[in-house]
Structure 1
Amino acid sequence: MDDGIVPRSAPELLFQHLVASDSSLLTIEATCCEDGYVGRGASGEVWEAKYSSGRPPDQLEYEGVIALKILQYTLAGRRVDETTQNRFFKRVVKEVSLWSKLKHPNVLRLLGICLEGSKGYKRISIVMPLMENGSLVDYLQAHPNVDRLRLLRGMADGLTYLHGFDQPGPIIHGDLKCANVLIDGAGIPLLADFGFSMLMDEIRAEHITTTLLDINPRWAAPERLNPERYGLKPHEAFTKASDMYSLGMTIYEVCRCFPLGICRLKAFFP
């Protein structure tokens, strides 16, 4: 096995597991468009895509342009043992299965899943609507006079929905910032990139060191950056409160058009 890379047969196995474990997940045959690269998030690359058959499946109640989020199978570029790899697989299964059940106007919709790539190498991809206005960062630059209070209210409503999810438990976003808020054609903000989103009890059950997580200090709560200082284990720092801190930093980013500077953050973390 290459450093940090899951064997090529693993995506096929994971795909079969996903389909078998949740009948509500819709399998969609799609491929990335040439020159369709959109960007990279915490969980993988995003590409504009097209249906392999030229039209959406009959079961899919969506006729807009789609995007593929190609999941990455590395943990900070490190070699992972089989136990860690299996835990990562379970997280992916949980993330996708849970996402398919989320229904809120301020949470990005999951359309389905697909197995993308050539015969020699297949990759698990999440199928979702393509947001033509890009991220909130892009939108604010293109529309500097937009009603920012309306955008912030939508973000807060989406986060309230995630935190109030009760079956099987509240959802922690874990990576809230303007880059992870997408804007649809009507200017509605949608929370996206659930790279670290998981149920609270699952977070507490996992033992993942902070070195494996792509934490950005501009948006992360103090206990996320230095859990030991607060008497916490790394997985215990993912809470509703840490999400609310990130929301506060995102509000600052929206109002000032740039995130809180690293030099100013040093005052918070001596």
Structure 2
Amino acid sequence: KELVAHAIHYNSDRAGKPFIRVNCAALPETLVESELFGHEKGAFTGALAVRQGRFELANGGTIFLDEVGDFSPATQVKLLRVLQEREFERVGGNSPMKTDVRVIAATNRDLEAMITEGKFRQDLYYRLNVFSIHLPALRERKADILLLSDFFVEKYSKANRRSVKRISTPAIDMLMAYHWPGNVRELENCIERAVLVSNDEVIHGYHLPPTLQTAEASGTVTAGPLQAALDNVEREMITEALKSCRGNMAKAARILGMTERLMGLRVKKHGVDSRRFRSDW
């Protein structure tokens, strides 16, 4: 959700202005008004100085209200006023302050059901629901998994001064097979961990968290015949060689130090299709 909100902001006329994210579910009810709208000095105990709220900080830019369905009825009334009047007052103040912000709101709740139950204001819902985007869970967007993974590999390689260049095919298979209950945030954390523990330029299956690993996919069989473990290692080495050579069997065989005939037998044994790597580059 936040990635989509970022994309909307940075591809708009407001790109040069602030992007302010608010996790509505994390704001205590006693502080939510102060966090959103700011407060004047002496407005309450502990208010030792004037403080700008999120709407004031976002002026001219975008404010992203994540989990807006968690707001209490009292906060919903105040938010409605900002959307309608384009103004607010700091806590303890009496002078209306104008604001010019794009509001992007997100929730994983059924707001229409909450309206029926009296838990969410209907007028606020219609104010927010000017243009809606339905974002399916990551497990329903398989095509995005690899694109996001590559983006996070590049991001965290630079951030941690690592030289990780790519993700191995077995690791890709594991990423694609997982159900991602934590969506993009879980994927990002997973890739960050893999980048940190990788000791070469490739993220392998065994670099991924245990929740993603299976004995077959990671090549880390902890029980069973020795031959099964050796077969898993051999399969991954052959797959990686074919990927590096763009599916060229002869080149892959030379890299692995075996004859083309033996390479063909091993590929057939492990059910590896060399043609799948010819369009990877």
Query: TM range, normalised to the smaller chain?
Result: under 0.3
Structure with greater contact order relative to length (CA < 8 Å, sep ≥ 6): 1
Q: TM-score, normalised by structure 2?
A: 0.24
Q: TM-score, normalised by structure 1?
A: 0.25
Give the number of the structure whose alpha-carbon radius of gyration is greater: 2
